[in-house]
Amino acid sequence: MDITNSIPDFKMIVRPEFVKKAEELKPELSTVRVNPVRLVQIVPHGEDFTAEPAEDAAALSRKSFGRGDSVCLDFGGHQVGYVSFRLSSTGSPQDAPAYIRIKLGEIPYEMGRNFAGYRGNISRSWLQEEYLHIDVLPAVVRLPRRYAFRYLELYVIDTSPKYKLTISDVVCESVTSADPGRVLPLKTADPELALIDRISCKTMESCMQLVFEDGPKRDRRLWMGDLRLQALTNYHTFRNYDLVKRCLYLFAGLTQNEGRVGACLFLEPKLQVDDTALFDFSLMFVSCLYDYYEATGDKETLRELFPTAERQIELSMAELDEGGVVRDKDTWWCFLDWGKGLNKQAGAQAILIYALKQARQMAEWLEDEEKAARYSRQAELATEGAMSRLWDAETGFFVSGKKGQFSWASQVWFVLANVFDREKNQQLLKRLIREDPPVKMATPYMYHYFAEALMENGLIDIALETIRSYWGGMAREGADTFYEVYDPADRFASPYGDRLINSFCHAWSGTPAYFIRKYLV
Ligand code: RAM
């Protein structure tokens, strides 16, 4: 799938009053200084690697390093921040620069792999590795970027035959805009759920920066679909309502051609919406605003941003054909999930119905009966289109695209769109699990919506089982934070052609805390 689908004649429409509001809500980052807790050895296991504790951190001060030597430090948990350390020389006077490589990784796999062997199709520049010359020792070395990592390896490319290096005062200034003090203690005696909740909260914490980032290692930006799930989880954990508000104002203040909410936004070098448009992500603005109002009751924001939500509906409705069904495309026009070969038409249709119902509700909150009636009619129209063209009564499943593809994502989204009553939704979900279509779910993003469909339709036990097996699977592998992509059957799965570039702390994966706190305890 070509993901370089810039929209033609892209231009950004700026609403300065919205951007100003967003900027006024810019959070302060808090900083904590974290030191490594131990030295580890990265050990191969088949194609994968583990980090085995070797010595305690104090052992570092007794070591010196020459050509080809290395050491791997473990910070004890996931960090997002700025790293510095002191390098000194020992032996004869320093007669040549020190030349070192620093590598940082969120999981042991990144530490074990040689980055030169990277074979993915998105930029290698995300891999966290620095090559540095240090002319004069001793020196305090400050690494140039913000990193997301647990492990840091120092590898000495060269010193000289006459001196070696010592390393001390290794510290990470870890940053976040999340305030852990606002997370209420979880009342559960279930250690597995407690662990999953803790990992979720840590994932959220690492992704909460000046905006809700999707992943602090990659792409480090605000994606609309990710934001929607982060915001939901945030309402049940860190409760930073202003950060959600800020992100909503950014999306509304920096739209694309025709007022479309972009798929993602950059903060630097200036506030800028990206030129990628995704059908479902634009509609997620509607959902995110709806959730925000439900969580806060902030009517002023609802009133001010509702027109932006309405514009997304309008633009999406224009994508319907004569039969009331969203036109399918060959490009990367809609996200849904990274599932291989997933056709997006049915999922997109369901998301449109889902968003129309939320728009109707928002119009009612704003006491605009005329609009409420209009969105109701549009939801009916899109439902009729779906039932006549996408519903296959014989198999009892929704099909998608020209070839009538049968996927998990399409069924899940139609359940969420509530085109049936609860009983039929339950039957559809159970049939889906039984038949297990070949086009599977690939990411925690899609698994979230599956779990949500189950929870919302009273299938709490199956939802809980999904959380225990799927997110619990990552926890059992020792995850500090939840991964962008997780396939229990293939630990090397990656939508980008190489697991190395996957993000191992990803916002859209941090939602179990939402389920646990909203539905389970
Ligand atoms: C990837 C990231 C991001 C997501 C987009 C669609 O680049 O994982 O979080 O929203 O895909």
Write out pLDDT tens, residues 28-47: 999 999 999 999 999 999 99
Which of 223, 282, 334, 443 for mutating ligand 1's site (highest number of atoms within 8 Å of CB)? 223
Query: How far apart (Å, rounded) are the C-alpha atoms in residues 165 and 4?
Result: 45
Q: Which pair of structure tokens corresponds to residue 44?
A: 């191969």
The closest residue, in CA terms, to atom 9 on ligand 1 is 214
Residues 269-312 have pLDDT tens digits of 999 999 999 999 999 999 999 999 999 999 999 999 999 999 99
Identify which of 263, 173, 261, 285 has the alpha carbon closest to the alpha carbon of residue 219. Answer: 263
Tell me which residue has tokens 């647990």: 150
Query: How far apart (Å, rounded) are the C-alpha atoms in residues 360 and 224?
Result: 21
Identify which of 116, 107, 108, 106 has the alpha carbon closest to the alpha carbon of residue 49. Answer: 108
The closest residue, in CA terms, to atom 6 on ligand 1 is 335
In sequence order, the β-bridge partners of residue 171 are 84
Q: Which pair of structure tokens corresponds to residue 297?
A: 């009751």
Flag whether pLDDT at 471 surpasses 80.
yes
Identify which of 227, 286, 199 has the alpha carbon closest to the alpha carbon of residue 483. Answer: 199
Share of the chain above pLDDT 90, in %: 98
For position 7, what pLDDT does the model report?
A: 86
Going from the Cα of 436 to the center of ligand 1, the distance in angstroms, rounded, reads 25
Flag whether pLDDT at 2 surpasses 90.
no
Flag whether pLDDT at 74 surpasses 70.
yes
Mention every residue, 6+ apart, whose C-beta is less than 8 A from residue 181. Answer: none
* Ligand 1 atom nearest residue 224's Cα: 10
* pLDDT category of residue 3 using cuts at 50, 70 and 90: low
Contact between 75 and 36 (Cβ < 8 Å): yes
Query: How far apart (Å, rounded) are the C-alpha atoms in residues 255 and 18?
Result: 11
Q: What is the mean pLDDT of residues 78-90?
A: 98
Identify which of 318, 322, 288 has the alpha carbon closest to the alpha carbon of residue 305. Answer: 288
Query: How far apart (Å, rounded) are the C-alpha atoms in residues 499 and 146?
Result: 21
Which of 222, 224, 226 for mutating ligand 1's site (highest number of atoms within 8 Å of CB)? 226
* Ligand 1 atom nearest residue 443's Cα: 8
Pick the CATH number of 31-176 from 2.40.50.100, 3.40.50.10860, 2.60.120.260, 3.40.640.10: 2.60.120.260
* Ligand 1 atom nearest residue 215's Cα: 9
Q: Which amino acid is at 345?
A: Q
Residues 371-423 have pLDDT tens digits of 999 999 999 999 999 999 999 999 999 999 999 999 999 999 999 999 999 99
Interhelix angle 279-296/345-365, rounded to 10 degrees, is 30
Residues with CB under 6 A from ligand 1: 214, 219, 223, 225-226, 335, 484, 508
Which of 203, 219, 508 for mutating ligand 1's site (highest number of atoms within 8 Å of CB)? 219
Mention every residue, 6+ apart, whose C-beta is less than 8 A from residue 509. Answer: 203, 443, 444, 445, 471, 474, 481, 482, 483, 484, 486
* Ligand 1 atom nearest residue 503's Cα: 8
Q: What is the mean pLDDT of residues 112-124?
A: 98
For position 11, what pLDDT does the model report?
A: 94
Going from the Cα of 83 to the center of ligand 1, the distance in angstroms, rounded, reads 26
Q: What is the mean pLDDT of residues 65-72?
A: 98
Flag whether pLDDT at 327 surpasses 70.
yes
For position 6, what pLDDT does the model report?
A: 82
Identify which of 111, 94, 96, 95 has the alpha carbon closest to the alpha carbon of residue 39. Answer: 111
Q: Which helix H or strand E contains 166, and what residues bound it?
A: strand 163-176
Q: Please give the mean pLDDT across all residues of the chain.
A: 97
Exposure of 266 in the CB half-sphere (CA atoms within 13 A): 10
Going from the Cα of 232 to the center of ligand 1, the distance in angstroms, rounded, reads 17
* Ligand 1 atom nearest residue 507's Cα: 9
* Ligand 1 atom nearest residue 278's Cα: 6
* pLDDT category of residue 4 using cuts at 50, 70 and 90: low
Which of 123, 212, 214 for mutating ligand 1's site (highest number of atoms within 8 Å of CB)? 214
Q: Which pTM was predicted?
A: 0.97
* Ligand 1 atom nearest residue 264's Cα: 10
Identify which of 505, 515, 508 has the alpha carbon closest to the alpha carbon of residue 452. Answer: 515
Domain boundaries, the chain: 31-176, 180-207+441-521
The three state secondary structure string of 19-30 is: HHHHHHCCCCCE
For 390-395, which contacts have Cβ atoms below 8 Å and span 24 or more sequence positions? 390/325, 390/345, 390/346, 390/349
| Peptide bond preceding 495 in cis form (omega within 30 of 0) | no
* pLDDT category of residue 8 using cuts at 50, 70 and 90: confident
Q: What is the mean pLDDT of residues 244-249?
A: 99
